[in-house]
Amino acid sequence: MKTLTAVATLILLAAAGCVQEPGTAMSDTENIQELLRNSDLASMTPLEGQGESGGGRDAGFPEHWWRSLTSEEPMDFLLENDPASGICTVTVSRTLQASFNIDVTHDGVLNPGIKPISDLRTRRVILERTGEDTDPHGGWELTHLTPAVYSLDSGLEQQVFVQSMRIYAGDELIWECDSPGTFYAVEDGLPVLEPGTLVRVEAEFLHTSPLYQPPFYAYVHGPCPVWPRHWMNDEGLWGDRVAGDGVLSYEWYVEGTSDHWFVAVDVIDADTMLDQEEDDYDSGAWGIPALKN
């Protein structure tokens, strides 16, 4: 009976991918990878889904646009040091393939063209071993992370980049980033958003080879009203404090019911946005998980 139970347990563990050899505990590397695979903090959303194109204000904006995810590779983990020290920095990366659906004909009909997307998402995290072998994930905990950076993986030259990002609650600055290599403590360094609070996201962007005016379009993703994605402007509208200063903004009341507790700023090249035929998808983004108060 004892043997049967032991065998049954072993089969269950093997099925869950936890144990390769009878009686062998998971290694630090396996524990770290398992933790990261299951962590909401480590994951990086594909920024797909619907939203505002630009308010339908003029023909300089598409009638509609949205990304639809085709496939994602599993997350890739590069351990930057030997975890035997009890602290480990890991580069997490993940590729995605998607479609950029864009409809530039303002005819009241949804008739988009499709541009292929091949992107790479990367962030670094720090884990510490604060518990015992028998604790979940062998006592490892995710303590710090950088923003997720979205970049092209298509072979085309990326020409649009995020330069800075700030989150305000009311008029109080609660999170800012000027360099995506910056680590933030999970315990007290992430933006905490309270449903119903007026939140403003500001960001600055760069186009390395601008052809059009404006050179790019920018969007914020997060727990926003109606749509999880909204247009950011530099026209002094909707929370933008100073028109024409290169700081783009969007302000909203946090939706408690939202599933989108990941705040991202997303820049798309005007060259991508102004037609629906060319294979010229160019975009970049930064994103950070937000905690719900």
Q: Give the residues lining the site for Ca ion (CB under 5 A).
A: 63, 103, 105, 107, 109, 111, 234, 240, 242, 245, 247, 271, 275, 278, 280
Residue 35 or 270 with smaller CB distance to Ca ion? 270
Report d(CA 43, CA 101) in Å as an integer.
Answer: 24
Nearer to Ca ion, 28 or 251 (CB): 251
The nearest distance, CB 220 to Ca ion, in angstroms, is 14
Alpha-carbon span 249 to 100, nearest angstrom: 23
> How far is the C-alpha of 259 from the C-alpha of 130, rounded, in Å?
30
Rank residues 15 and 109 by Cβ distance to Ca ion and give the closer one. Answer: 109
Tokens describing residue 161? 């980049």
Q: Find the shortest distance in angstroms from Cβ 248 to Ca ion.
A: 6
* Residue placing its CB nearer to Ca ion in the complex, 178 or 275: 275
- The nearer residue to Ca ion, 12 or 173, going by C-beta atoms, is 173
**Residue 103, CA distances (Å) to 57, 132, 268 in order:** 15, 55, 15
Which DSSP symbol is given to 138?
G
Is 197 within 8 Å of 263 (Cβ atoms)?
no
Residues 269 and 207: beta-carbon distance below 8 Å: yes
CB of 286 to Ca ion, least distance (A): 18
Q: How far is the CB of 110 from Ca ion (least distance, A)?
A: 6
Tokens linked to 275? 């037609």
Closest to Ca ion by CB, 146 vs 276, is 276
Taking the least distance from each CB to Ca ion, the nearer of 26 and 247 is 247
Nearest to 249 by CA among 285, 207, 219: 219
Query: Smallest distance from the beta carbon of 74 to Ca ion, in angstroms?
Result: 32
- Tokens matching residue 48: 């797909």
Phi, psi of 124 (to 5 degrees): -110, 150
Distance CA 153, CA 43 (A): 18
Instruction: Kindly state the smallest distance separating residue 147's Cβ from Ca ion, in Å.
Output: 21
CA distance 232 to 234: 7
Q: Are 163 and 105 in contact (CB under 8 A)?
A: no
CB of 191 to Ca ion, least distance (A): 20
